[in-house]
């Protein structure tokens, strides 16, 4: 059972970061192995055909202006894109009343809308002062990092309406409450993605286009190039490292099953060791903390991993015979100040043979939803959809939930959200190699942190570090 494998570089994690790193290394003739805990590649990007035949992206799905790494990869692999559907008006639910709005910002309370827009501009302006390579060196970094985004918003916004609109946007973007995250981190993240306005919008922003055939296929294509070098169902349990070598103990979980996570466990398979000259660990910091590191990681690195909790998100797809809301002049977008689903999008396929509404339950709403039994969760979600889009929304052909907090190798989503104090206390450990171990993953990106694009650039950056270390 003690199968021993050898390679030059071990990559842990076959999400976009790990695959991009492995691919880059392969192209330079480096022998790589990629150990992936799940029985699929793609990490937080996962496309599935549902029982009713709809193609849904359970995780990351969009590409927008400025995401050049992702767009170039799609072009290279001949994966097409199409615009997110945005024709018509959005639905706003505020204090129990439903209205519709055009443009970017719900306007039923015009004063609140104006105040909210101003705050977004101020946030995005402040974000410009945070250096992307080293947010901990921003002017006043300690003070910014010692408070939450919630504190900043609370000091700034006088109207509850403005606050609830911004909260909905923040929760949609981060999967977390404004009161959970460091203000310095929020500013860094906004800067890295071109600002909150950019991150929140469809046309011209981060949700502009979708991939024909789903967002996971570029990961599948990269994995196919790597062939047997990608070991699925192979979580790393134990990781011994020095300055010039690593030995990882990899569990063999069998490689079959539903794609839903952790394998079937007890006594499953044996263990392999993989020896390599260097390693790239491409996973969220919190997940990397589950590995047994020998020797123990430096304090700043292990403390960092405890201060980068994953956001909480349930991504929901409701599949209908047709996109009926379009006939009513609606674009499928919702902004709500209560309920589980506070943000939705029209996620119908191109050509719209059927209609799909997709929504997020985020932060506390996600965790509250998760506490309900299956039937009750379904009831709550359908109620939210019907309140926004009318009674037809209550009877979808299919309702698909992806509960990211229950994925053991992700722990939540869409991204790690730095707790106050993390960046100034531990930040430099984000990317600093530890002996022969290099770090990748979208959380380590300096542009589009939290996005597929950031995952790709982080993998390439780590590959470049490794190539330099190997003298290649």
The structure tokens 């394998």 sit at 263
Q: Which of 19, 33, 312, 340 binds a second copy (CB under 8 A)?
A: 312
Q: Between residues 189 and 320, which has the closer beta carbon with respect to a second copy?
A: 189
Residues between 24 and 53 with contacts to a second copy, criterion CB under 8 A: none
Q: Between residues 344 and 410, which has the closer beta carbon with respect to a second copy?
A: 410
Q: Is 438 helix (H, G, I), strand (E, B) or coil?
A: strand
Listed residue (82, 107, 80) closest to 94, CA to CA: 107
Q: Which two tokens stand for residue 45?
A: 């990007």
Q: Which of 81, 164, 165, 366 binds a second copy (CB under 8 A)?
A: 366
Q: Provide the b/e sequence for 105-130 (b: ≥16 CB within 10 Å).
A: bbbbbeebbebbbebbeebbebbeeb
Residues between 104 and 143 with contacts to a second copy, criterion CB under 8 A: 142-143
Q: Between residues 271 and 326, which has the closer beta carbon with respect to a second copy?
A: 271
Separation between Cα atoms, residue 307 and residue 350, nearest integer Å: 40
Residue 442 lies near a second copy (rule: CB under 8 A): no
Residue 154 lies near a second copy (rule: CB under 8 A): yes
> Shortest gap between Cβ of 176 and a second copy (angstroms)?
7
Residues between 190 and 229 with contacts to a second copy, criterion CB under 8 A: none
Q: Which of 50, 71, 100, 151 binds a second copy (CB under 8 A)?
A: 151
Q: How far is CA 326 from the centre of its chain?
A: 28
DSSP 232: -
For residue 155, count other CB atoms closer than 10 A to its CB.
Answer: 9
DSSP 409: T
For residue 299, count other CB atoms closer than 10 A to its CB.
Answer: 11
Residues 6 or more apart whose Cβ sits within 8 Å of residue 228: none
> Shortest gap between Cβ of 429 and a second copy (angstroms)?
9
Residue 159 lies near a second copy (rule: CB under 8 A): no
User: What mask of x and - would describe binding to a second copy in positions 372 to 411, judged by CB under 8 A?
Assistant: -------------------------------x-xxxx--x
Separation between Cα atoms, residue 100 and residue 86, nearest integer Å: 14
Q: How far apart are the first and last CA of the chain?
A: 34
Q: Between residues 132 and 300, which has the closer beta carbon with respect to a second copy?
A: 300
Stretch that binds a second copy, among 109-117, 300-308, 328-336, 392-400 (CB under 8 A): 300-308
Q: Which two tokens stand for residue 350?
A: 């191109």
180 and 417 in contact (C-beta within 8 Å)? yes
Q: Which of 5, 134, 300, 467 binds a second copy (CB under 8 A)?
A: 300
Cis peptide upstream of residue 427 (ω within 30 degrees of 0): no
> Shortest gap between Cβ of 365 and a second copy (angstroms)?
10
Residue 306 lies near a second copy (rule: CB under 8 A): yes
Cis peptide upstream of residue 295 (ω within 30 degrees of 0): yes
Applying CB under 8 A, the residues found at the interface with a second copy are 2, 142-143, 145-148, 150-151, 154, 176-181, 235, 237-238, 240, 247, 249, 261-262, 265-267, 273, 286, 289-290, 292-296, 298-300, 302-303, 306-310, 312, 363-364, 366-367, 370-371, 403, 405-408, 411-412, 419-422, 424-426
């Amino acid at each position: 059972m003690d199968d021993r494998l050898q390679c030059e570089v071990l990559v842990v994690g076959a999400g976009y970061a790990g695959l991009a790193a492995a691919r880059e290394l392969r192209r330079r003739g480096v022998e790589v192995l990629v150990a992936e805990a799940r029985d699929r590649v793609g990490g937080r990007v996962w496309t599935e055909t549902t029982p009713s035949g709809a193609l849904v992206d359970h995780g990351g799905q969009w590409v927008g202006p400025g995401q050049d790494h992702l767009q170039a990869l799609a072009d290279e692999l001949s994966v097409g894109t199409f615009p997110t559907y945005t024709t018509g008006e959005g639905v706003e639910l505020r204090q129990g009343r439903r209205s519709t709005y055009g443009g970017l910002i719900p306007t039923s309370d015009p004063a609140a809308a104006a105040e909210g827009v101003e705050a977004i501009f101020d946030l995005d302006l402040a974000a410009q002062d945070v250096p992307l390579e080293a947010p901990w060196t921003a002017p006043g970094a300690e003070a910014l990092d010692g408070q939450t985004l919630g504190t900043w918003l609370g000091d700034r916004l006088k109207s509850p309406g403005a606050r609830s609109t911004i909260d909905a946007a923040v929760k949609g973007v981060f999967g977390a409450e404004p009161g959970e995250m460091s203000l310095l981190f929020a500013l860094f993240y906004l800067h890295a993605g071109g600002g909150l306005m950019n991150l929140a919008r469809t046309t011209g922003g981060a949700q502009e286009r979708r991939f024909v055939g789903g967002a996971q296929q570029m990961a599948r294509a990269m994995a196919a190039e790597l062939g047997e070098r990608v070991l699925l169902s192979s979580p790393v349990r134990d990781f011994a490292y020095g300055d010039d070598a690593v030995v990882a103990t990899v569990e063999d979980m069998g490689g079959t099953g539903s794609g839903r996570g952790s394998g079937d466990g007890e006594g499953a398979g044996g263990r392999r060791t993989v020896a390599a000259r260097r390693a790239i660990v491409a996973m969220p910091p919190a997940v990397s903390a589950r590995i047994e590191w020998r020797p123990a990681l430096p304090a700043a690195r292990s403390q960092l991993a405890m201060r980068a909790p994953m956001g909480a998100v349930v991504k929901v797809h409701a599949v209908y015979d047709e996109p009926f809301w379009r006939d009513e002049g609606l674009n499928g977008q919702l902004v709500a100040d209560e309920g589980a689903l506070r943000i939705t999008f029209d996620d119908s396929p191109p050509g719209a043979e059927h209609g799909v509404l997709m929504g997020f339950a985020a932060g506390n709403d996600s965790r509250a939803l998760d506490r309900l039994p299956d039937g009750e969760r379904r009831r709550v979600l359908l109620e939210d959809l019907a309140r926004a889009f009318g009674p037809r929304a209550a009877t979808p052909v299919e309702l698909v939930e992806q509960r990211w907090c229950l994925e053991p190798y992700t722990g939540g989503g869409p991204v790690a959200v730095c707790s106050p104090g993390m960046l100034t206390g531990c930040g430099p450990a984000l990317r600093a190699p530890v002996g022969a171990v290099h770090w990748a993953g979208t959380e380590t990106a300096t542009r589009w942190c939290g996005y597929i694009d950031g995952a790709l650039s982080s993998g390439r950056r780590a590959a470049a570090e490794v190539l330099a270390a190997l003298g290649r």
